[in-house]
């Protein structure tokens, strides 16, 4: 069984490395995942290595603490709304950028790509999707864009027929190039000091991640997201999530949809010069 001392060590590391706040209700989950992914009695060694600054141990611990729960077209109206907003942005500015934060194994980002291809009705829309996650193992799956049929079953038949092909390697199914080339995957820890994301975004998906963050980290992440959104840009959360103290930064549109609240000219200019 997970001891009190082990759990406290894991709690400190989770908060320091990723801003993740562990509560007593997470103790049993951590025990089960540790036994399944590391083996019996291996957690102590991992915690010790992580405390001593071992980068691989810290990566493996973060993988242990994150669930990577995702799927194709979860809350499907979010994707249609995001694609329509991107179409509007392209009409106004010539291009659009979208960000899938906490992209896990890629289903969310690829669902967004499919929605964009539907709305734009062409295979080369002037859009870019940046998809990030803290978990390198999950990102490796995402970059491969290969999924079991049990995962792909969430797609509508028309999407499955248009966007899925047989994998040339292992008999699994792979998403077609038109979908894959719209998405760029990068590793990003939302508590990092620097977010190397480049220009602002028209749409940000940040679903099922804020609930794991300690309140101070949650506010800081949302404040930075607000600074990276174009005026009127959309933030999509899981409908069960809330903004907490950062609610002042956004306008609630309902069902997990928020838009960036307008800021005055002086604040906007300072944010633009500061960069991400």
Q: Which residues are catalytic?
A: 33, 133
Q: Are 110 and 175 in contact (CB under 8 A)?
A: yes
Q: Are 197 and 228 in contact (CB under 8 A)?
A: yes
Pairwise CA distance, residues 109 & 180, whole Å? 9
Q: Determine how β-strand 257-260 pairs with β-strand 201-205.
A: unpaired
Q: Are 126 and 161 in contact (CB under 8 A)?
A: no
C-beta neighbour count of 16 within 10 angstroms: 13
**How deeply is 31 buried, as exposed, middle or buried, from its count of CB atoms within 10 A (0-12, 13-18, 19+)?**
middle
**Tokens at residue 61, please?**
């611990």
Alpha-helical (H) ranges within the chain are: 4-18, 27-37, 43-51, 55-65, 76-93, 107-120, 136-144, 149-152, 157-163, 177-180, 215-228, 265-274
**Tokens at residue 7, please?**
């759990």
Q: What is the maximum alpha-carbon separation in the chain?
A: 58
Q: Are 145 and 176 in contact (CB under 8 A)?
A: no
Q: Torsions phi, psi of 254, nearest 5?
A: 95, 150
């Amino acid at each position: 069984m997970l001891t009190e001392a082990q759990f406290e060590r894991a709690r400190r590391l989770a908060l320091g490395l990723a801003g993740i706040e562990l509560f007593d209700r997470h103790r049993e989950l951590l025990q089960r995942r540790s036994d399944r992914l590391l083996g019996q009695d291996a957690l102590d060694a991992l915690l010790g290595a992580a405390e001593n600054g071992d980068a691989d141990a810290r990566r493996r611990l973060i993988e242990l603490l994150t669930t990577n729960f995702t799927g194709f077209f979860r809350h499907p109206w979010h994707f249609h709304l995001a694609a329509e907003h991107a179409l509007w942005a392209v009409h106004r500015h010539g291009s659009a950028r979208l960000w899938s934060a906490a992209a896990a194994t890629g289903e969310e980002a690829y669902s967004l790509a499919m929605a964009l291809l539907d709305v734009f009705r062409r295979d080369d829309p002037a859009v870019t999707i940046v998809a990030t996650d803290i978990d390198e193992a999950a990102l490796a799956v995402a970059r491969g864009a290969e999924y079991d049929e049990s995962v792909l079953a969430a797609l509508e038949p028309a999407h499955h027929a248009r966007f899925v092909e047989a994998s040339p390697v292992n008999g699994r199914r792979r998403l077609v190039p038109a979908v894959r080339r719209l998405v760029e995957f990068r590793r990003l820890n939302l508590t990092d000091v620097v977010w190397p994301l480049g220009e602002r975004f028209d749409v940000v998906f940040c679903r099922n991640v804020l609930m794991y963050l300690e309140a101070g980290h949650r506010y800081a992440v949302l404040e930075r997201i607000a600074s990276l959104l174009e005026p009127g840009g959309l933030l999509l959360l899981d409908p069960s999530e809330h903004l907490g103290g950062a609610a002042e930064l956004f306008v609630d549109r309902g069902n997990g949809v928020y838009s960036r609240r307008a800021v005055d000219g002086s604040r906007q200019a300072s944010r633009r010069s500061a960069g991400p």
